[in-house]
Amino acid sequence: MNNQKKEELQRLLWMANVQGFYPDKPAVELEAGYQRWQGHRQQFAQLDRDFSPENIRHGSPNLELASLSGSLVFTFHYGPYRLVPRYLVAAGYSLTIVVSDAVLDRERRRYARDLDAMGLPADRLECLEASNAMVIRKMLQAISNNRLILVFLDANESVGGNESKEEQGRLRVSFGASYFYWRSNLLKLAHRFGLPVYAIHLSPKVHHAAPAWQMGDPLTVLSPADRNNPIAILNAFTKLQEFFHAMMQIDWTAWENWGLMHHYKGFDERTGLGIRCNGSWMVPFSFADKGYLFDLSRKIFYEIVLKKNENF
């Protein structure tokens, strides 16, 4: 598949993903949204390339060192999100990031270069593999050492790959005319151990000539005082969803994951809606070594997944 065909398929996936959440948006608005999303990606990539110790310190948020140390902090793939770890390190935090094994080596190399450019010791930022069996113990150890644990809540992986626990570890998030899932096990873990939890994201600076982003005030999701409060976990879920909705209202095209919704939304296995929908035509195709079905009538993609204990 040549680059032009890949770009067109990416556009088709993006349009179908967005239309599933915004069915009332006309085609012209979807096309404008896609072009804006593409422009954001180029802008964010340029901000990433322009990184230097001088401009990162100049643009660092005004976060007191004691405010987030020893806590779990959720963020999202929104705006130039790759700057978030750099801002936090520049603010003085010792940072631990939980990432998938697919990007672990790449992220470690990237952040090692950043620390070297900033003249900081290598232990100021570490990466933990999300699927590692010891990741929970390592995270608790990091928090006890007053490190900040950064987790991308909208990432397509969970801590621990136990499929039998997948259903109870998912939080269904209503958004627009549809929904998707977040992994909820870390939030439940924090509630169980009485750990402080916050949420942050970058926002565009208003009335600024050049593209510029800043970090707003952290949202307190859970506090140690919530440990014995059974309602606190429900309130925390509500806070996170409202935080995400408010972020998307700023600029919904600044969320990178529009191009990935077909990966982690999937179809609801309890109803088999993607297979049992009457009157639909399914078009099979492959992209990036994955198989998909495209529902022509509902304009939704479904990823084809073969479980390890099943055979054709």
Per-residue pLDDT tens over the stretch 194-213: 999 999 999 888 766 666 78
Least confident of 46-60, 110-124, 166-180: 46-60
Tokens of 59: 């643009």
pLDDT attached to residue 50: 81
Please report, for residues 9, 85, 167, the alpha-carbon distance to residue 297 in angstroms, rounded to integers and kept in the order given.
18, 42, 28
CA nearest neighbour of 259 among 13, 9, 5, 4: 13
pLDDT attached to residue 291: 76
Tokens of 68: 């987030």
CA nearest neighbour of 303 among 312, 294, 311: 294
In this model, does residue 169 exceed pLDDT 90?
no
The residues with which 304 forms a beta bridge, in sequence order, are: 291
Q: Are 108 and 127 in contact (CB under 8 A)?
A: yes
Q: Are 295 and 19 in contact (CB under 8 A)?
A: no
In whole angstroms, how large is the CA radius of gyration of the chain? 20
Tokens of 12: 């088709």
Could you give the CA distance from residue 87 to residue 63 in angstroms, rounded to a whole number?
A: 10
Per-residue pLDDT tens over the stretch 96-125: 999 888 888 888 888 898 888 888 999 999
Please provide the average confidence, as pLDDT, over all residues in the chain: 81
Q: What is the pTM of this model?
A: 0.80
pLDDT attached to residue 307: 59
Per-residue pLDDT tens over the stretch 61-95: 555 555 899 999 999 999 999 999 988 998 889 99
Per-residue pLDDT tens over the stretch 241-252: 999 999 999 999
For every residue of the chain, DSSP letters joined together read --HHHHHHHHHHHHHHHHHHH-TTS-HHHHHHHHHHHHHHHHHHHHHHHT--HHHHHHT-----HHHHTTSEEEE-SBSSTTHHHHHHHHTT--EEEEE-TTTHHHHHHHHHHHHHHHT--GGGEEEEETT-TTHHHHHHHHHHTTPEEEEETT-S--SS--GGGTTTTEEEEEETTEEEEEE-HHHHHHHHHT--EEE--EEEPTT-SS--EEE-PPEEEE-GGGTT-TTHHHHHHHHHHHHHHHHHHH-GGGBGGGGGHHHHS---TTTTHHHH-TT--EEEEEETTEEEEEETTTTEEEEE---TT---
pLDDT attached to residue 311: 47
Q: Are 237 and 171 in contact (CB under 8 A)?
A: yes
Single-letter amino acid code for the residue at 138: K
